[in-house]
């Protein structure tokens, strides 16, 4: 069962001068872990932003979790229900505690504050930060901050987690710990994980790697 279906997707910027995506066809199965790799400027982030409905296509079709993103009018509801985001720079809110940051995606849900806190605590335990829940993000290391961001991305039970260079700002040892954690949580929480990276070694950790160049998919590979 495909959770993502993209057909002939195109996106350009600067009145058509920059062809960021130039005819992308891609299918991703529910529960799959897929990496998107390619040089800087190849269109990786644009593709990820389309999947998360942060940007809209010019041409082609994109269907994510049963929603036709070229037609849907309620993209913010789609995002909060289906998508968890992990960015290179974790985008945590500095004057909220770790526990409060993780609860942000749940504020639009109808859960009671007790249930929200319970779920946030569950995730913070999964990322081994239960002793940091009342700290502010500024007191944490880079790796700890990224673990908070991962907990936040998963807290609403999204069907898809989109990670854009999730280890880009970390040293390699900390990065490895974050990648292990993402892999574990992808299994445990049963989510589809799509990760953008420019490092082959990181891309190979996924079940399948897709290479993008000049806005096109030039290679697909199953990793063993
Ligand atoms: P990657 O993630 O592989 O580095 P991007 O998707 O960020 O590539 O960018 C693809 C191309 O589109 C690049 O040439 C980039 O400069 C351009 N681009 C991306 N976003 C915008 C934007 N908002 N406005 C103009 N050009 C953009
Ligand atoms: P990455 O290399 O991880 O794709 P970038 O620095 O290329 O990150 O892009 C970061 C953000 O800036 C993206 O959201 C992208 O859409 C936007 N962006 C990239 N290139 C341009 C550009 N030439 N003009 C305007 N926005 C851009």
pLDDT band at 73 (very low <50, low <70, confident <90, very high): confident
49 lines ligand 1 (CB under 6 A): no
CB of residue 146 inside a 6 A radius of ligand 2: no
Residue nearest to atom 1 of ligand 2 (CA): 45
pLDDT 10s digits, 106-152: 988 899 999 999 999 999 999 999 999 999 999 999 999 999 999 99
Radius of gyration over every alpha carbon of the chain, rounded to an integer in angstroms: 17
Instruction: Please work out whether the CB of residue 42 comes within 6 Å of at least one atom of ligand 1.
Output: yes
- Give the pLDDT of residue 219: 97
Task: Give the mean pLDDT of the chain.
Answer: 94
- Residue closest via CA to ligand 2's atom 2 equals 40
The residue contributing the CA closest to ligand 2 atom 12 is: 45
58 CB burial (10 A radius; 0-12, 13-18, 19+):
middle
Substitution site in 19, 42, 46 for ligand 1 pocket (most atoms within 8 Å of beta carbon): 46
Dist. CA 170–CA 163, nearest whole Å: 14
* pTM for this predicted structure: 0.90
CB 4 within 8 A of CB 192: yes
How far is residue 81's CA from residue 160's CA, in Å, rounded to a whole number? Answer: 10
Ligand 1 closest atom vs CA 212: 3
Question: Residue 160 Cα, ligand 2 centroid: separation in angstroms?
Answer: 22
Ligand 2 centroid to residue 43 C-alpha, Å: 9
Residue 40 in contact with ligand 2 by CB distance below 6 A: yes
Ligand 1 centroid–CA 49 distance in Å is 11
Distance CA 32, CA 81 (A): 19
ipTM of this complex prediction, to 2 decimal places: 0.74
* Predicted confidence band of residue 88 (pLDDT cuts 50, 70, 90): confident
Q: Determine if ligand 1 sits within 6 Å of the CB of residue 46.
A: yes
Residue 72: pLDDT band with limits 50, 70, 90: confident
């Amino acid at each position: 069962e495909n959770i993502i279906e993209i057909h002939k997707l195109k996106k350009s910027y600067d009145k058509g001068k920059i062809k960021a995506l130039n005819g992308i066809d891609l299918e991703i199965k529910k529960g799959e872990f897929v990496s998107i790799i390619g040089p800087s400027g190849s269109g990786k982030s644009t593709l990820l932003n389309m999947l998360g409905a942060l940007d809209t296509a010019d041409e082609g079709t994109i269907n994510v979790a049963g929603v036709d993103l070229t037609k849907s009018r309620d993209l913010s509801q789609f995002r909060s229900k289906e998508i968890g985001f992990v960015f290179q720079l974790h985008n945590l809110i500095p004057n909220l505690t770790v526990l409060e940051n993780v609860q942000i995606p749940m504020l639009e849900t109808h859960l009671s504050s007790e249930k929200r806190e319970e779920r946030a605590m569950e995730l913070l335990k999964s990322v081994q930060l239960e002793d940091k829940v009342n700290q502010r993000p500024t007191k944490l290391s880079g790796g700890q901050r990224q673990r908070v961001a991962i907990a936040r991305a998963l807290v609403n039970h999204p069907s898809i987690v989109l990670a854009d260079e999730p280890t880009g700002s970390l040293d390699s040892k900390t990065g490895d710990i974050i990648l292990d954690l993402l892999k574990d949580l992808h299994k445990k929480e049963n989510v589809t994980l799509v990760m953008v990276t420019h490092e082959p070694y990181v891309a190979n950790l996924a079940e399948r790697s897709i290479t993008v160049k000049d806005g096109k998919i030039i290679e697909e590979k199953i990793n063993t």
